[in-house]
Every structure is written in structure tokens, then in C-alpha cells.
């Protein structure tokens, strides 16, 4: 019985391209994805919560060097992982990340803006940009339906994937 259960579970993971969740190969890669998720979360807040545009602009201006370096590191990751399809896959990941974070906001309803806008105050009280990685890692901003370093394939390339374990980095259960 146990074997049957594990076999069915494995088969389900093998068929669903969105069930894949791999660990990052390095802490540096994990940091890149954590910072990208922080930037995306703040962008979602800015577009969905009245009066947050100024806070988002202040965030981007204060941490411009760190955010720019992270954007380059994210592009380098996708180039290593996907070669000539890197830009398409990166665009798909960033879009899926923002959409997934927006869905969390929709599920929270009217609690979303008051509950999450504190993140702007918190991030602006950091000493400097060197504190961003630890802050982002502690926020658990990568939705469970997205892989961290093995982005879900774009719909055009949804194929059978191998199962792997979910990174527990920064995850609260």
C-alpha cells in the first residue's frame, strides 16, 4: 500500500510541470531569487495599494545599485539555465511571480494593503543595501506555487519534468 501511494505521488509530480521545485545550487542564486521576489512584492503593493507609488519609488531609488546588480545576476542565472531561451524564460518567471503574488493579495482582500504595506517601512529602515538579502530571505516572498531556482516552464514548453524536493530556505510551515 505504501509503495502504491509513493508511486502515485511520484507519478503526479512527474506529470505536472508546475509541481517541480528545486533547490538553488548556491546561496548566491537563492539570494538573487529572494531579492527579485522582494522587488516584485513591492511592485505589486505599489500597483494595488493606493498611495504606495511614492514608497515604491523611494525603495527603488534608495537601493538602485543593489537592485540593478540583482537584475544582472538574475539575467545571468537564466542565461546559464536556459541559454538562448533565457530572456523568454526570465520574462515568464517574473510575470508568474508577480501574478502569483497578486493572487495572494486578492485572496487577502481588503486586509492586503494594510497588512503588507508595513514592508515598505521595514525595508526603508534597513541600515543599507547590504541588509537587503537577509531581509528578503526572511520574508518568504516566493509563493509556494513557484519554484525558486527551477522556474516553472512557460506554457509553450510545458513538458514532463523530474520530481525534486522543495527548498526549505526561508519557508515557514
pLDDT at 150: 61
- Entry field: residues in the chain: 173
Query: How far apart are alpha carbons 120 and 118 in whole angstroms?
Result: 5
Q: Within a 13 Å sphere around the CA of 72, how many CA atoms are in the beta-carbon half?
A: 5
pLDDT at 51: 80
pLDDT, block means (10 residues), the chain with 173 residues: 37 33 73 96 92 91 97 96 95 95 88 85 95 94 79 44 35 38
Residue showing cell 548556491: 26
Query: How far apart are alpha carbons 82 and 80 in whole angstroms?
Result: 6
| Every domain of the chain and the residues it spans | 27-157
pLDDT at 23: 54
pLDDT at 81: 92
Query: How far apart are alpha carbons 112 and 51 in whole angstroms?
Result: 14
Amino acid at each position: 500500500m505504501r509503495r502504491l501511494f509513493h508511486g502515485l505521488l511520484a507519478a503526479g509530480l512527474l506529470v505536472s510541470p508546475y509541481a517541480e521545485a528545486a533547490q538553488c545550487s548556491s546561496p548566491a542564486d537563492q539570494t538573487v531569487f529572494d531579492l527579485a521576489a522582494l522587488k516584485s512584492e513591492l511592485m505589486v503593493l505599489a500597483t494595488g495599494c493606493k498611495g504606495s507609488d511614492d514608497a515604491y519609488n523611494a525603495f527603488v531609488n534608495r537601493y538602485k545599485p543593489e537592485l540593478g546588480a540583482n537584475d544582472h545576476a538574475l539575467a545571468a542565472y537564466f542565461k546559464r539555465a536556459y541559454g538562448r531561451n533565457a530572456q523568454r524564460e526570465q520574462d515568464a518567471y517574473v510575470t508568474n511571480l508577480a501574478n502569483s503574488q497578486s493572487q495572494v493579495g486578492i485572496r487577502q482582500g481588503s486586509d492586503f494593503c494594510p497588512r503588507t504595506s508595513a514592508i515598505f517601512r521595514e525595508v526603508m529602515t534597513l541600515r543599507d543595501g547590504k541588509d537587503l538579502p537577509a531581509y528578503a530571505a526572511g520574508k518568504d516572498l516566493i509563493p509556494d506555487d513557484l519554484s525558486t531556482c527551477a522556474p516553472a516552464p512557460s506554457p509553450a514548453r510545458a513538458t514532463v519534468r523530474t520530481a525534486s524536493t522543495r527548498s526549505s530556505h526561508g519557508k515557514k510551515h
